[in-house]
Amino acid sequence: MSSPLAPAPAPPSEAAEKVRAEVREFLAAEQAAGSFTTHVDTWLSGVDPAFSRKLGERGWLGMTWPKRYGGHERSAMERYAVTEELLAAGAPVAAHWIADRQSGPNLLKFGTEAQRQAILPRIAAGECFFVIGMSEPDSGSDLASIRTRATRNGAGDWVVTGAKVWTSNAHHSHYGIVLVRTAPVDPGNRHAGLSQLLVDLSLPGISINPIRILDGGHHFNEVVFDDVVVPGDMLLGEEGNGWQQVTAELAFERSGPERFLSTYPLLAEFGRRVVDSGDPAALATLGRLSARLLALRQLSLRIAAALDRGELPDIPAALVKDVGTTFEADVIEEIRRVVEVAPSLDSPDPLARALAEAQLHAPGYTLRGGTNEILRGIVARGLGLR
C-alpha cells in the first residue's frame, strides 16, 4: 500500500543483506580490537575521524553517489543497511554523519561541477566533515525568519554577517552549508530571498563557540560570521532558491534510521539484562518496544526504496521522524518501569550508564531536524488539512 504518508513497501534487497553482513563483521572486529566502545546517540556525540576514514576506505560513505565524485553507485537500500548497523552498534559516526547524509546529496543536487569535484570525493573518503547552518539564536522552528545576511562586494564575493546555532560538531568540521538572506524580506513571500552558501569554516572572521548540552558534552556550537568574505563561486544552487533547497535537504535529514535508533544501545543493554533475569514483565516490555521499532524500520525502509526510485518523500520522512523520536524517548521510560536501575554516567553497570546517556540526550530527540510540532504540521498537510 502506498499513500501520501507512506511510500510502497520496499522490495527485498540481496545487495543490502550482503553489505549488512560485511558491516557486522567489520564492527565486531573493531570492537574486539577496542577501536570504539558503544554509546547512546553516537551520531551526535561519537566523533572519531579515524573511524570515519575507515568507513570511507571500505566504500561505506557516499555510497549512492556517482563514481566520478568518489561515490560507489550503490542503492539507498544498501546505504540504509550500513547506517542502521552502525547506529545499532553505537559506533562513533558523528564526524561524517551530516556530510554523508545531507550535505553531499545537497551538493550533488545543487552544486556546481567544480564544487562537486572539490568536495564530494573528500566526503566519501571520510576526510571532509560538514555542519548544518540553518537555525539562529532568534530563528528556530520559524526558519524563514533568519537574519544572517550575505551581500555581494565589488569583487563579486559574498560578505556574510550573522550567527548560526546548534551547529553540531562545527569545531571538528571543514565546511558548513549556511542558509543566508540575500535579498530583503518580501512581506508577500517570506520564503523568497534566501540562498545557501558553501562556507569554508577556516575563513577569517568566523568564530566557533561551544554550547554545552545537558550532560556537559561539547557537540553544539554557535558559529559567528563577522564580515566573512566567501568567494563568489561558493553560492550553492541558485540565488534566492534557498528555501526550496533547504526543504529538499531536510527530507534527507529526517528520513533515516537515526530517527528511531538513537537510543537503541540502551535497548540492547536492556535485552542483555532481560536474558539474565527472565522477568516476564521485562520480556513483554522488550517485545512491545521491539514491535514499535520493527514498524518504524519498515517505514524507514520504504523511504529508502522511495529514494532509490527518485522520489522526494518529505511527508513520510516527517511522519517517521515524529513517531521515531517519540519512540526513542519512550524506550527510557518503558525500561525504567520494569528494571531496578538508577541512571548514572559513573556506574559500573552498563545499563545504568546507557540510561543516563539516553536521558540526558532525550530532550534533543524531538527537537533536532525540526520539532515534532513542525513535523506534525507537515503530516497534517499530507492529510489534506493545510
Which residues contact another protein by CB under 8 A? 1, 3, 5-6, 9, 20, 24, 84, 88-89, 264, 267-268, 271-276, 280, 282-288, 290-299, 302, 316, 319-320, 322-323, 326, 373, 375-377, 379-380, 382-386
CA distance 39 to 205: 35
- Closest separation in Å from C-beta 385 to another protein: 5
**Contacts for 312 with CB less than 8 Å, ≥ 6 apart:** 248, 251
The answer to whether 322 and 302 have CB atoms below 8 angstroms apart is no
Task: Pick between residue 198 and residue 315 the one whose CB is nearest to another protein.
Answer: 315
Task: Pick between residue 137 and residue 287 the one whose CB is nearest to another protein.
Answer: 287
- Closest separation in Å from C-beta 166 to another protein: 23
- Closest separation in Å from C-beta 59 to another protein: 21
Q: Name the catalytic one among 84, 253, 269, 328.
A: 253
For the record, the C-alpha cell of 157 comes out as 564575493
Task: Pick between residue 5 and residue 183 the one whose CB is nearest to another protein.
Answer: 5
- Closest separation in Å from C-beta 292 to another protein: 6
Burial class of 294 by CB neighbour count within 10 A (0 to 12, 13 to 18, 19+): exposed
- Closest separation in Å from C-beta 29 to another protein: 15
Backbone angles phi, psi at 26, to 5 degrees: -60, -45
CA distance 230 to 133: 15
Helix (H, G, I), strand (E, B) or coil at 70: coil
Burial class of 249 by CB neighbour count within 10 A (0 to 12, 13 to 18, 19+): buried
Residue 253 falls in the annotated catalytic set: yes
What dihedral angle (degrees, nearest 10) is formed by the CA atoms of 280, 281, 283, 285?
170
Task: Pick between residue 228 and residue 251 the one whose CB is nearest to another protein.
Answer: 251
Task: Pick between residue 68 and residue 272 the one whose CB is nearest to another protein.
Answer: 272
Which residues have a catalytic role annotated? Answer: 253
